[in-house]
Amino acid sequence: MKNVSGRKSDVLDCQWLQQLHTYGLLEGAFRPPEQVCALRAYLRQRDNLIRYASSHIQHMQKALRQMNLLLDNVVSNITGKTGMLIIRAIVAGERDSEKLAQHRDYRCKRSVETIAKSLEGHYRDEHLFSLSQAVELYDIYQEKLCACDRAIEQQINTFDTLADPTNLPPAKNKYKQGNALAFDVRTQLYRITGVDLTRIDGIDETTALKILSETGTDMSRWKTEKHFASWLGLSPGNKISGGKVLNTKTKPSANRAAAALRMAAFTLANSKSALGAFYRRQRTRLGAPKAITATAHKLARLIYSMLEHGTEYVDQGQNYYEQQYRERVVKNLRKRAAQFGFELISNSPAEDAFAVQETVS
C-alpha cells in the first residue's frame, strides 16, 4: 500500500484500501511456499519445547537452592555433563558430598574439593520430590526435542538440491552451542541454498535455518535487498509531513527472522571481523539498541545478496574496515576544508595526525 503514491494523510485507511483494491493496485502479502511453512511450524514448535524445558531447569535450580546445594556456583550450567550426573545421583539417593563431587568432568574448572563443599546441605523430602519431578519433565522435553529434530531433518530432505554438499568448505567454528539440532544443519543448508550462510560472522547454522524457515530460499519475492530489509522491519522509517522528517524509527515488528538477525548482531560485540568493527562504531555513535538494528540490517542485506546471486561472503577483517572508515573521514575533511578555503595535508606519513593550513588566496 505504501508503494502507491497519492495518498493524503487525512484519508481513512479503509477508504484508501477500498480505492486501491478497486483499481487492482494492491499486491498480496508475502507467504512462503507450503514446504517452507511446514519447516517453519516445526522450528516454532522446537522453540516452544526449549522454552518449556528451560522452566523446568529453573525448577531444578530452585529445589537445589532450597536444600542449600549451591551447584550453580561451581558449574557453569547445571544441565551440563557434571551438573546432570550430580543431580541424577541426588535423585537416586546419594547424599555424601564427596561421592557426589566425584562425578566432576575433567573439563570442569572447579576442583573436587570445591564442588564437595557446595553440596553440603539439608535434604528435605518435599524439595527432593520437586527436584525429581523437574528432572523427569526435563527428560521428557529432551525426548520431544529429539523427535522434533528428526521431523525437521525429514522436512529439509524434501527440498531440492542446488549444490553438492561435498564441495562445502570446512566450518569456521566447530563449537556446538547448547540446544543445537541433532543433525548436520550446515551441510543441509548448503545443499538447498548453494551458499554457506554460516560464513557470515554472527550467523550460525541454527540462526540461518531459523531465518530461512521464515523467509524461504527464493529472494525473488522481494524486488531488491531494500525491500527485503523493509519487510523484516529493519529499515529506517519515513514518517514525513510537509517535507519535514518527523520520525525515522523502525516500525514495530514481531518478525522472527528479524529477531534472529538482531540476536546475531548482538554477538558481534567482540568480533574481530569487519561486521564487528561496524557494530562497535555504530554503538559508539548511536547506542547499543540502534547499533544492533543497523547491524541486523546489514546482515539481512548480505543474506539477500548471497541467496539471490549465489555469491560467497568474504570477511575483510576489522583492519580493512577501519582503513576504509579512515579514508572516508579524511576525504570528508578535505572537502570540508576546501569549502572554507583551507587545505588539509598530512603531518607525517607514519602518523594519523593532520594539520590544517590556510591556502594563499
Q: What is the pLDDT of residues 150-198, one digit of tens each?
A: 999 999 999 999 988 888 888 877 667 778 898 999 999 999 999 999 9
Average pLDDT estimate for 315-321:
80
> How many residues can be counted in the chain?
361
pTM value is: 0.83
Instruction: Output the nine-digit C-alpha cell for 271.
Output: 568480533
**Residue type at 278?**
F
Instruction: Output the nine-digit C-alpha cell for 136.
Output: 523427569
CB 212 within 8 A of CB 203: no
| pLDDT tens-digit readout, 132-154 | 999 999 999 999 999 999 999 99
Question: What ranges do the domains of the chain cover?
Answer: 1-30, 34-156, 182-238+246-315, 319-358
3-state secondary structure (DSSP) of residue 279? helix
Q: Cα(first)–Cα(last) distance of the chain, in Å?
A: 55
CB 43 within 8 A of CB 50: no
Gap between the Cα atoms of 71 and 64, Å rounded: 7
- Cα torsion 296, 228, 194, 149 to 10°: value is 70
DSSP 219: G
CB 159 within 8 A of CB 35: yes
Q: The dihedral of CA 260, 266, 272, 278: what is its sign?
A: positive
